[in-house]
Structure 1
Amino acid sequence: MLIGYMRVSKADGSQATDLQRDALVAAGVDPAHLYEDQASGKREDRPGLASCLKALRPGDTLVVWKLDRLGRDLRHLINTVHDLTGRGIGLKVLTGHGAAIDTTTAAGKLVFGIFAALAEFERELIAERTVAGLASARARGRKGGRPFKMTAAKLRLAMAAMGQSETKVGDLCQELGITRQTLYR
């Protein structure tokens, strides 16, 4: 069964789904099996997409007008298609840069495999640059992480104050600008 998904970016409805709807119906999608969202492609909370993915069964094909209608983030797209493939569901993109993607065919699987390999390569490059950047910063004496709230001066003051019986922990913490948990560490 062919199931279609449409998305327009503007929640105010200034962008219509008519063009997408017509293309999906012309591709053989039953109008009763169309799902729609009016949200940014970067937003994770897209109820139409969630319902669409839930309705798909093994052997079905998800049809989208353009690949960017499914999502703008490459990692999200790859994860979505990987999930669909694992469930025995195909993906067909009708127009745009992803029009060669039809995971129900060998050529479409190849194109998507290339996209997935490029995305993994990009992730590995980012990880390598991150590790190299952290090592470089450490070599220059820069330590990562959040600065300590409890300085040596605050520690001396706290130890002196805690030695006095009339000291209230809450008041001391407030005066030092730290939490009880920080004080007891």
Structure 2
Amino acid sequence: MNEVIGYARVSTREQNPQSQEAELRAAGATRVYVDRGESSRISERPQWVACLDHLRGGDTLVIRALDRVAGTERMAIETIRDLGQRGVRLKSLSEPFLDVDTSTPMGEAIVGIMTVMAQLRVSTIRENTMRGLAHARSQGRVGGRPTVMNEARIEAAVKLREEGKTLVQIAEVLGVGKSSVARALTNNADERVRNIEQ
């Protein structure tokens, strides 16, 4: 027998999910899974995982809004597509366009359109970022956060590396992140190669 299953989420444990639960039950949910204090950007939320395990083909998943289950556009697209492939209907109470059977040709078309739009937005953001960085460089500015690896730390990192220390060990000694050490050592090596070639 097909079921209507609800999923609710609140960002902090202090928030009360009762209003969400009431809305989902009013929409026909016979069971509601609730995550408290969990970020929508994390896919491995305990009750979300349990909800997905419970859902079967032919069931309907009802949510208040898409941001309850997905914190990014990519996650949203993947969630809609995965549910559709499993034959689970997705219904959002605040987004009527999501009340579609994603396992049908029309549902697949809607997912396809959403995928294209999400990719276009990502590409546009990337293009604008690159254009902004290029303009900043032309003005003598460099984008991004300032590095924690000053000359003294880079010299120390090089020496420690030559002594056989790992990136983790070097990072602990210098009090910085491992990625900062790795990036600094790579940039330093590239600079030395360029100097030799000149």
Q: Structure 1 length normalisation: TM-score? A: 0.62
Partner of 1:173: none
How far apart are 1:73 and its partner, in Å? 3.2
The percent identity for this pair of structures is 25
Secondary structure at the aligned position of 2:150 is classed as coil
- The answer on whether the counterparts of 1:64 and 1:70 sit within 8 Å (CA) in structure 2 is no
1:2-31 residue CA offsets vs partner (Å, 9 max, x unmatched):
351321426346341122123133xxxxx3
Q: Are residues 119 and 53 of structure 1, via their aligned partners in 2, closer, same or farther at CA, if it must alter by over 3 Å?
A: same
d(CA) in 1 for partners of 2:148, 2:38:
36
Residues 63-101 of structure 1, C-alpha deviation per residue, up to 9 Å, x if partnerless? 113333323533221122233344x33332153224443
When the two structures are superposed, what TM-score results if normalisation uses the length of structure 2? 0.59
The Cα of 1:39 is off from its aligned counterpart by: 4.0
**Structure 2, gaps ≥5 residues long:** 156-172, 176-180, 190-198
Match of 2:13 among 7, 11, 14: 11
Give the number of the structure with larger relative contact order, counting CA–CA contacts within 8 Å between residues 6 or more apart: 1
1:14 corresponds to which letter in structure 2? N
2:99 is matched with 101
> Which is higher, the Rg of structure 1 or of structure 2?
1
- Tell me which moved more, 121-130 or 59-68: 59-68
| Structure 1 gaps, min length 5 | 26-30, 156-176
Name the aligned partner's letter for residue 83 of structure 1. Answer: D
**1:117 matched to which residue of 2?**
116
Q: Distance in 2 between matches of 1:94 and 1:147?
A: 45
Whether the aligned pair in 2 keeps the contact of 1:6 and 1:34 (CA below 8 Å) is yes
Number of aligned residue pairs:
153
125 and 74 in structure 1: CA distance in 2 versus 1, 3 angstrom threshold: same
Cα pair 1:60 1:90 within 8 Å, conserved: yes
SS in 2 for 1:24: coil
Deviation per CA, 1:84-135, whole angstroms, max 9, x where unpaired? 344x333321532244432133333333332222111100101111111222
Provide the rounded CA distance (Å) in 1 between the counterparts of 2:14 and 2:174: 46
Cα deviation, 1:18-50, whole Å, max 9, x if unaligned, reads 22123133xxxxx3x542223466352521111
Structure 2: how far apart are the matches of 1:84 and 1:92? 7
* 8 Å CA contact retained: 1:2, 1:61: yes
Change (3 A) 1:24 1:37: farther
